[in-house]
């Protein structure tokens, strides 16, 4: 073995086990020298390339920075052209205020910005404020800026690999055109970490959609100009009307008509925080979190606290493999939130995170309560898609009589009653006749009037515009569950004292984090208190849970606090028991119901919040419009 030179962390014994094994081999460490290391100032080109590594991770990052600059410039029309997933070309054209010719060179200097004066980094009202995007892009690609300020001539400047060219006159009607070619040509190692052209184009599309949702009054167009046939991959025209109308129209364009039709308006204010946007019904859930969009002061963010609050608001309505869909905008005084915690500005830090989380949870839950028994329209669409009507042949269309009036239909049914009476003996469904003259017409009832029961599980009800099919067991299960939850809210959760308190040793941070939520845990029957040092004593557990592993529950709660910033673990366990009780205490499948029982169930569903979905997020009823039913039979 050769002689091993020890210095730095190795000599101090701070290198890990892997490092010790590795450096035990006969080799040398290139970054450790026998002589004293020299501190030197990096040149401007190296500084810009390092900054670009933080700000410009991939082509989508470049598009984000350039489009945000266009929005800050007051643009009302923004066009983005990309080629090869943005690797070879990104061009952003806007009709904003532009950049004066004498400021073009300054705009490409690091930390040069028109957004702030540097006196207050907490009072940020714009997307950009760091002044790093343009010089970073110019350091790793070939950047060209052409701009014209109103009342002046147009000018342009080029920069390649950090080398600025002269400012020259140019031709442009107004606004700014920024063209970025050959991204990362100056740092070719970064190109190896990019994904396929299609994946990069998809990431750009997602960025543009998020910014389009944040600015519904701005027109956006994204084109892929790769090859000989350019194509528009996304377009959103500028919306009109008030804020909510414009946002609803923009969400319909970006997320689809189904989301817009099945979402609830959110508008809540608390202690300087204003939450607006739209959240989808639980029955319009998704298989992943792809339709969760969160904005803080108009800035798209991916914040763990806000995502956890969104999940917490829906945790009682969705199973673990389903995710809510929402587009939520949280606005507040800029001094209440710090956006300067990450170079990409995708993370934020609230001065009072508990207030922000509480507002989201309470506002969404209130909206879901006000939605009552409403279920998403996509349930009916899926039902119609599952029905396969008899195909109509290619022959001449069979003549169909016009739909008869209500009076003629009633007379026809009465004349045919004996025949129908004989036919019903061989079928599982029974026909329910109107026996009372003062019966409420079905058009006055949201879920209609019961007309029959099929397979002793599905209630068929008639409405003014169609029919409703109700899963009697799932519907009644939700009704019983809501009653049990209301009783628990009034009477509280009974706690059982442990004969011998269980002591759990934790780290100082975990202990402090757990004691912060001790009062909330006590509401659900879990009593904890400090036990000296970093230990806690568990003295009570929820009685409804029976015998539980208290230590494992505490550790699960800590994991949830770390992941989401809050914990619904105990509440979820208690309500899971209530859900099972509701399941066993509800109307069973296979039970024959009388007409008055079916109608009573429908009326109770109309009066009970959340009755549109069962305890697991599945729909409790399906509504089919008469026009859709007639289309199945070719009567249109």
CATH of the domain at 337: 3.30.230.10
Average pLDDT over residues 506-517: 87
The 10s digit of each residue's pLDDT in 460-505 is 998 888 889 999 888 888 888 888 788 777 777 788 888 888 999 9
Last residue of a domain, one of 321, 343, 370: 370
Alpha-carbon gap, residue 626 to 615, rounded angstroms: 29
Q: Are residues 221 and 363 in the same domain?
A: no
Q: Are residues 179 and 328 in the same domain?
A: no
Q: Which helix (H) or strand (E) holds 601?
A: helix 595-607
What pLDDT sits at residue 120?
Answer: 54
Q: What is the pTM of this model?
A: 0.71
Domain annotation covers residue 79? yes
| Structural tokens at position 8 | 């730095």
Domain annotation covers residue 550? no
Q: Are residues 219 and 349 in the same domain?
A: no
| Structural tokens at position 280 | 């989808």
Q: Which domain holds residue 73?
A: 46-236
Domain annotation covers residue 8? yes
pLDDT level of residue 427 (50, 70, 90 thresholds): very low
Between 374 and 68, name the one with better pLDDT.
68
Q: Are residues 275 and 167 in the same domain?
A: no
* CB of 257 closer than 8 Å to CB of 250: no
Domain annotation covers residue 419? no
The 10s digit of each residue's pLDDT in 32-51 is 556 777 887 777 767 666 66
409: exposed, middle or buried (Cβ count in 10 Å: 0-12, 13-18, 19+): exposed
Last residue of a domain, one of 236, 252, 274: 236
What pLDDT sits at residue 612?
Answer: 85
Give me the number of domains the chain comprises: 3
Q: Are residues 22 and 58 in the same domain?
A: no
Residue among 559, 580, 578, 617 at smallest CA distance from 314: 617
Domain annotation covers residue 412? no
What pLDDT sits at residue 18?
Answer: 43
Domain annotation covers residue 159? yes
Q: Are residues 204 and 290 in the same domain?
A: no
Q: Are residues 182 and 260 in the same domain?
A: no
Q: Are residues 217 and 103 in the same domain?
A: yes
Q: Are residues 52 and 191 in the same domain?
A: yes
Alpha-carbon gap, residue 60 to 550, rounded angstroms: 47
Cα separation values, 179 from 198, 250, 583, Å: 21, 27, 62
439 pLDDT above the threshold of 60: no
Domain annotation covers residue 467? no
Last residue of a domain, one of 236, 264, 293: 236
Q: Are residues 181 and 96 in the same domain?
A: yes
CATH of the domain at 93: 3.30.565.10
Average pLDDT over residues 114-122: 58
Domain annotation covers residue 81? yes
Q: Are residues 110 and 230 in the same domain?
A: yes
Q: Are residues 229 and 82 in the same domain?
A: yes
Could you give the angle at which helices 472-491 and 595-607 cross, rounded to 10 degrees?
50
The 10s digit of each residue's pLDDT in 72-89 is 889 999 999 999 999 999
* CB of 294 closer than 8 Å to CB of 301: yes
Percent residues over pLDDT 90 in the chain: 27
Between 171 and 389, name the one with better pLDDT.
171
């Amino acid at each position: 073995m050769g002689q091993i030179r020890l210095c730095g962390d190795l000599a101090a014994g701070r290198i890990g086990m892997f490092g010790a094994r590795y450096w035990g081999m006969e080799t040398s460490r290139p970054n450790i020298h026998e002589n004293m290391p020299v501190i030197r100032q990096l040149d401007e080109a190296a500084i810009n390339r390092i900054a670009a590594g933080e700000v410009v991770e991939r082509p989508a990052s470049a598009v984000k920075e350039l489009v945000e600059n266009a929005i800050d410039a007051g643009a009302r029309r923004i066009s983005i052209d990309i080629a090869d997933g943005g690797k070879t070309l990104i061009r952003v054209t806007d009709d904003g205020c532009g950049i004066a010719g004498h400021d073009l060179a300054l705009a490409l200097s690091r930390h040069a910005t028109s957004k702030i004066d540097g006196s207050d980094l907490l009072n940020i009202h714009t997307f950009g404020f760091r002044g790093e995007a343009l010089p970073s892009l110019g350091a790793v690609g070939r950047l060209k800026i052409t701009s014209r300020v109103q009342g002046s001539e147009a000018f342009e400047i080029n920069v390649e690999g950090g080398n600025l060219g002269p400012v020259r006159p140019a031709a442009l009607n107004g606004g700014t055109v920024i063209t970025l070619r050959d991204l990362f040509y100056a740092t070719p190692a970064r190109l190896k970490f990019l994904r396929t052209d299609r994946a990069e184009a998809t990431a750009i599309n997602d960025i543009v959609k998020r910014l389009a949702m944040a600015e519904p009054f701005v027109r956006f167009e994204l084109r892929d100009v790769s090859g000989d046939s350019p194509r528009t991959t996304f377009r959103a025209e500028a919306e009109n009307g008030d804020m909510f109308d414009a946002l609803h129209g923009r969400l319909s364009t970006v997320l689809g008509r189904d989301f817009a039709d099945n979402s609830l308006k959110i508008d809540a204010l608390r202690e300087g925080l204003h939450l607006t946007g739209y959240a989808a019904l639980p029955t319009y859930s998704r298989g992943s979190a792809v339709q969760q969009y969160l904005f803080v002061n108009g800035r798209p963010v991916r914040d763990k606290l806000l995502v956890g609050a969104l999940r917490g608001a829906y945790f009682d309505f969705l199973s673990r493999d389903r995710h809510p869909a929402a587009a939520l905008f949280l606005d507040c005084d800029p001094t209440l939130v710090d956006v300067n915690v990450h170079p990409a500005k995708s993370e934020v830090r609230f001065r009072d995170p508990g207030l922000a989380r509480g507002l989201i949870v309470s506002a969404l839950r209130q909206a879901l309560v006000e939605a009552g028994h409403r279920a998403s329209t996509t349930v009916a669409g899926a039902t119609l898609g599952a029905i396969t009507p008899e195909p109509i042949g290619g022959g001449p269309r069979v003549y169909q009589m016009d739909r008869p009036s209500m009076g003629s239909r009633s007379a026809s049914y009465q004349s045919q009653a004996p025949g129908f009476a004989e036919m019903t003996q061989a079928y599982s469904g029974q026909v329910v006749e109107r026996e009372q003259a003062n019966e409420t017409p079905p058009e006055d009832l949201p879920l209609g009037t019961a007309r029959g029961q099929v397979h002793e599980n599905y209630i068929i009800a008639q409405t003014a515009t169609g029919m409703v099919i109700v899963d009697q067991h799932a519907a009644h299960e939700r009704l019983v569950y809501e009653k049990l939850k209301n009783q628990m809210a009034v009477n509280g959760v009974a706690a059982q004292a442990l004969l011998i308190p269980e002591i759990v040793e934790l780290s100082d941070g975990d202990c402090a984090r757990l004691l912060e939520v001790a009062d909330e845990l006590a509401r659900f029957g879990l009593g904890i208190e400090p036990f000296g040092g970093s230990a806690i004593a568990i003295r009570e557990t929820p009685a409804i849970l029976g015998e539980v592993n208290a230590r494992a529950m505490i550790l699960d709660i800590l994991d949830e606090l770390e992941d989401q910033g809050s914990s619904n673990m105990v509440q979820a366990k208690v309500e899971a028991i209530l859900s099972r009780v509701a399941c066993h205490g509800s109307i069973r499948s296979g039970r024959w119901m009388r007409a008055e029982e079916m109608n009573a169930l429908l009326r109770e569903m109309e009066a009970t919040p959340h009755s549109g979905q069962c305890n697991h997020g599945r729909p409790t009823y399906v509504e089919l419009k008469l026009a859709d039913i007639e289309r199945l039979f070719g009567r249109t």
